[in-house]
Structure 1
Amino acid sequence: MKKQTKAIHTRFQRQDAYESLSMPVYHTAAYEFDNADSMSDAFCGRTDSPDYSRVMNPTVTFFENKVKSLTGATEVIALSSGMAAISNTLFSVAAAGKNIVTSRHLFGNTYSLITGTLSRFGVSPRLCDLTDIRSVESAVDGDTCCIYLEIITNPQMEVADLQVLSNIAREKGIPLIADTTLIPFTEFSSHSLGVDIEIVSSTKYLSGGATSIGGLVIDYGTCPGFGKRMRTEMLLNLGAYMTPHVAYMQTIGLETLNARYHVQSANAAMLAGRLRALPAIRYVNYVGLEDNPYHALAQRQFGPTAGAMITIDLESRNACISFINNLKLIRRATNLFDNKTLAIHPASTIFGLFTDAQRRDMDVKDTTVRISVGLEDTDDLLEDIVQALGDQSCKSHH
């Protein structure tokens, strides 16, 4: 079956008593067993029967199985948020005395997890330019536990060569871990590019229009012991498993992902091209634009689509704040890939608690506005952007 068919027709683990077409929501904490032996088998992982909904639930397992069938993964674990997926994964591979080789170009909370929280437990951050092979090779040593990156950084929109990073990771016997949230896993195979463990914020494209918060850890079985540690240690000890109702909503979202994503990415490509004609906008950053420095690499790795996130640079921080305040159709909100188009000023919000020096180090500029493009008509979006920018762009537009 093709991916879109699999997204709709994955079979339930067990036949439903009422022949329901949608996997029922098992809003229950515990499950009854016929006898002591079957209870022991479930708790010790010798059978796939759920024992307790903090670590296994039929609705969540069904969602995990759908993702597994779409990605070809060995193991998929659904968690309570994208950050839970990141933190559980890094706790699985890291230990005191180890280091994580990663970029300064990370989402704000991922950056603070690696440079702050984990460092308090004796795990060192090694921040380098992941687009520079020599920089990565010199950062990796015998104590490196993984190379970690975002496939398109948020909001800098940098793209690193996954195959090159994978070769370095393979040589050192460590996993390459990639947050692939910005391009859906239905569009490309991260594993074929050398990724060992894929992390996705399922809050974004998968949830079906920002219905719920969730995260996925997609394990391709090339990091020995990782999947077992996630199931038998992280889920049991950290308690961040996805709830059944979220899994239900995201299962439905997965069924329409292909249709929504192709409209959103086409809208983003069209809008990015049209925004360049507006004089008030100094720069439009979108890897789908042919003259973007990462365009060729992004196409080779992720295929013809480039996601639904654009950033624009305006004259000043004040211009950005004024623009956001003037928006009428586009919503002032965080999150990515809602059905609605969203705008945010990253420097004063997502990165607002970092110092000016830290933001400079991370290339988070005061002049940048991030736009997550939704499903609206692009004419309406452009009209709202033009009026929000003020007279200069209005004259140009008309």
Structure 2
Amino acid sequence: MAVEREVRLARAILDFENTDLAVSILRSADADSLLRTVMEIDERRNDLAARAGEFCDSVRLPVDYRSLQFLFDHKSDLEAASLDPDALLDRAQLKRSEDALRRQGYTELVDWACNDLENFDPTRLAKVMRAIIAKNMVDKAFTIHGSALQDYDGQDFDRIREEIIERDRELIRMSRKVIRQGLLRDARPPQGNGIGHKSTYTEMSLIINEMNKRRNRLGIRELTQRAGQALLELKPCWMMSPLAVAQYLHEGMEFDLVVIDEASQMTPENAIGALSRAGQAVVVGDTKQLPPTSFFRKMLDDEDIDEDLREDSESILDMANVAFMPIRQLRWHYRSRHSALGDVGLLMQGSYHTGFTT
């Protein structure tokens, strides 16, 4: 027993960082009471280690983070997590983002954001990142093309930009002509009837006859009825409103694809006419926009209608989101020269990239 006591005391002395202080305590205190205290501390430490091990097993903590010292250092984090468990997901996402930035070489930026909390403004992080990326791109461009770029001034760059804009516009005009010529080259419109009374002419015979007229030409409705297949061969893409579809498209006129744009503003009954004329459909819209409303129509029908009856109608976009899967999210937009519009898209549950035409 005496030997065991001496061994325990020796271990206690070795655990002290200040050995002289440990020896002084041993000389001034009762060895037996000191040993009991050391044994109690060991038992509590062993019990705490066992409970910590059970905790680490329950949360599947990696081996590198299972030490008592690690848990003690992160005591405040664990207490905060116990009060708000849902925040753990945010912290995990933050940790993954931090690791990803470090792997991409942004260690200094991460350290600044994490350590300089007093001077760090989270709202500036996105701007700082964009500035760093832009600077890196400029530095790389000058590294590769620096010798050539030094010979240009601001006026040269303005002139080059204007030339690029004009070439881009010319390319758009030429693309239209190429598409038009390709459609006409590949078109095989039916000749139709071109014999007898002109009121019996159909298809291309009717179209050629109408082209030679200077007045008294047929209306669109009759023309599509008598020469619909020839028109589809010559002009395969039609842009129409729901009312125009009902007025001008006759039985037998079918398309490969129907695209309904601004679908959140269109009711199903207005869309059914176009949908029935194609085997495929693309329904495009924004669920964040206001749905079709019958407010004004009901006001015309009954000015005294109860306000509770003014209900919004279901749109064809709502029905498509339920009936068709998967839903595709647009990732590019061409409505603005500035990328800020893309930021608005992100707030509206989207992921957009900015592109623009001149």
Return the TM-score normalized by structure 1. Answer: 0.19
| Larger proportion of helix | 2
Return the TM-score normalized by structure 2. Answer: 0.21
| Larger proportion of strand | 1
Higher RCO (CA 8 Å, separation ≥ 6 residues):
1
